[in-house]
């Protein structure tokens, strides 16, 4: 049981700020060696949009609640050895993808000290808690439309720095990754707000609004010159430790109604309607869809097949499944939380997010897939979890655009 001090002195606050700034500087320094800005780099820019599954630290620099921040221990403890703002014990999916693409760690848009040279290899615009709808956690996050606006600022900066021709080549050759929708569907249940759009529309219409906003942003980026896109679908939200605890399913299993139904409807429309339509309508549009939901479910139900010991309980938190979002003590009234001894054995790091180990495995799956263990394949769980392009193919296509 860890019991952090809830009343930080000004000196301790200053020290924590210095740690975060140092962390950002160390990440940039490591990028130059590990990420390969030199001869090893593919030269393909990587732009990242979405929520806490992808946020590399933008929420460190906005006025928000601790619910939407991860810039305090024990976050980051197993790889960076300090909190970076990532909702994990270590790295996230984009960090591993960047490594495979021989790119540096992609910096958060709001990270102090960023300049257009840092951003030439890509930018992370994602914000924990963000949704496709402006109304989702409004005022506490950087919504998807604002993230698009930030991308346009980068595009303008690239043009001023590189000139129109080189800027256009950078944008058209770039890869654009999205994880969005989870917060749109969870927020009405987490906030218990009767003013939510969900309570004034059918499930079908609500999902349509989320996907329409995502589509509009994708088309806007396409209009800027973007052609290569990566999409994560939405996990079965009723299986996340926090939602299982909140929804109080009496049998202790995943909550399959309401929030999970929204996720399933979103995923079905994204894969069978939205993305195929974009591919038909937009010349040169190429995409990779990562079935995050299936990948996560396989590890929940068969953790040992993936070298994990625990597929349901989180490593950090309190309560059943450690589903109380108290990791770090700042989100809990009692300021107490539990942390497992070995996060590498766990699928979930906290009550909503995954471990460095889980993200590493998933990144390998979508970069250059191999068949999953046969025992994890069912009639409702397809063999392939990424397509029609793998990420390796997509980055290769970006090089030869």
Give, as one character, the DSSP assignment of residue 335: -
Structure tokens at 140: 């506490």
Output b/e per residue, 321-355; b: 16+ Cβ within 10 A. bbbbbbbbbbbbeebebbbbeebbebbbbbbbbbb
Quote the crossing angle between the two packed helices 203-224 and 182-191, to the nearest 10°. Answer: 140
Tell me if 178 sits within 8 A of 229, measured CB to CB.
yes
Classify 302 as helix, strand or coil: coil
Give yes or no for a contact between 175 and 47, defined as CB atoms under 8 angstroms apart.
yes
Q: What is the largest CA-CA distance in the chain?
A: 61
In angstroms, rounded to a whole number, what is the distance separating the alpha carbons of residues 5 and 12?
A: 11
How does pLDDT run along the chain (401 residues), one tens digit per residue? Answer: 443 333 444 444 444 444 444 444 444 434 432 333 333 455 799 999 999 999 999 999 999 877 789 999 999 999 999 999 999 999 999 999 999 999 999 999 999 988 888 888 999 999 999 999 999 999 999 999 999 999 999 999 999 999 999 999 999 999 999 999 999 999 988 886 655 666 667 889 999 999 999 999 999 999 999 999 999 999 999 999 999 888 776 666 787 778 889 999 999 999 999 999 999 999 999 999 999 999 999 999 999 999 999 999 999 999 999 998 889 977 666 668 999 999 999 999 999 999 999 999 999 999 988 766 655 555 544 557 999 999 999 998 765 55
Using DSSP's 3-state secondary structure scheme, residue 398 falls into helix
Q: Which residues are catalytic?
A: 52, 350, 353
The CA R_g of the chain, rounded to the nearest whole Å, is 20
- Transcribe 65-126 into DSSP letters: -GGG---STTTTTTTTSS--S-SSSS--HHHHHHHHTT-PPPPBTT-TT--HHHHTTEEE--
The pTM assigned to this predicted structure is 0.87
* Token couple for 233: 């679908």
Residue given tokens 């080549």 in the structure block: 169
Cβ count near 60 (within 10 Å) = 25
């Amino acid at each position: 049981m860890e019991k952090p001090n809830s009343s930080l002195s000004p000196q301790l606050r200053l020290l924590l700020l210095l740690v975060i700034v140092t962390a950002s500087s160390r990440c940039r320094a490591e990028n130059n060696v590990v990420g390969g800005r030199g001869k090893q780099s593919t030269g393909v820019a990587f732009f990242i949009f979405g929520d806490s599954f992808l946020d590399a630290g933008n929420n460190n620099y906005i006025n928000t609640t601790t619910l939407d921040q991860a810039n305090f221990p024990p976050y980051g403890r197993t790889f960076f050895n300090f909190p970076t703002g990532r909702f994990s014990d270590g790295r996230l999916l984009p960090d591993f993808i960047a490594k495979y693409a021989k790119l540096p760690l992609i910096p958060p848009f709001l990270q102090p000290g960023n300049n257009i040279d840092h951003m030439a290899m890509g930018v992370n615009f994602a914000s924990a808690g963000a949704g496709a709808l402006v109304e989702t956690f409004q005022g506490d996050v950087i919504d998807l439309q604002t993230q698009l606006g930030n991308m346009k600022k980068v595009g303008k900066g690239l043009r001023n720095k590189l000139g129109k021709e080189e800027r256009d080549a950078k944008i058209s050759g770039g890869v654009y990754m999205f994880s969005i929708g989870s917060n749109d569907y969870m927020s009405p249940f987490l906030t218990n707000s009767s003013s939510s759009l969900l309570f004034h529309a059918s499930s079908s219409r609500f999902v349509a609004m989320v996907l329409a906003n995502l589509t509009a942003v994708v088309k806007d980026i396409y209009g800027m010159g973007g052609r290569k896109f990566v999409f994560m679908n939405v996990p079965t939200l009723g299986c996340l430790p926090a939602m299982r605890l909140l929804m109080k399913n009496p049998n202790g299993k995943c909550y399959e109604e309401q929030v999970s139904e929204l996720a399933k409807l979103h995923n079905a429309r994204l894969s069978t309607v939205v993305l195929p339509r974009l591919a038909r309508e937009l010349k040169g549009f190429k995409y990779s869809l990562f079935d995050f939901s299936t990948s996560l479910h396989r590890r929940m139900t068969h953790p040992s097949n993936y070298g994990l010991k625990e597929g349901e309980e989180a490593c950090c938190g309190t309560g059943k499944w450690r589903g109380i979002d108290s990791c770090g003590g700042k989100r809990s009234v009692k300021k107490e939380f539990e942390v497992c001894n070995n996060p590498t054995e766990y699928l979930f790091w906290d009550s909503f997010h995954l471990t460095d180990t889980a993200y590493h495995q998933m990144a390998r799956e979508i970069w250059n897939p191999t068949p999953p263990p046969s025992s994890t394949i069912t009639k409702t769980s397809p063999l392939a979890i990424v397509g029609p392009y793998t990420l390796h193919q997509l980055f290769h296509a970006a090089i030869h655009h």
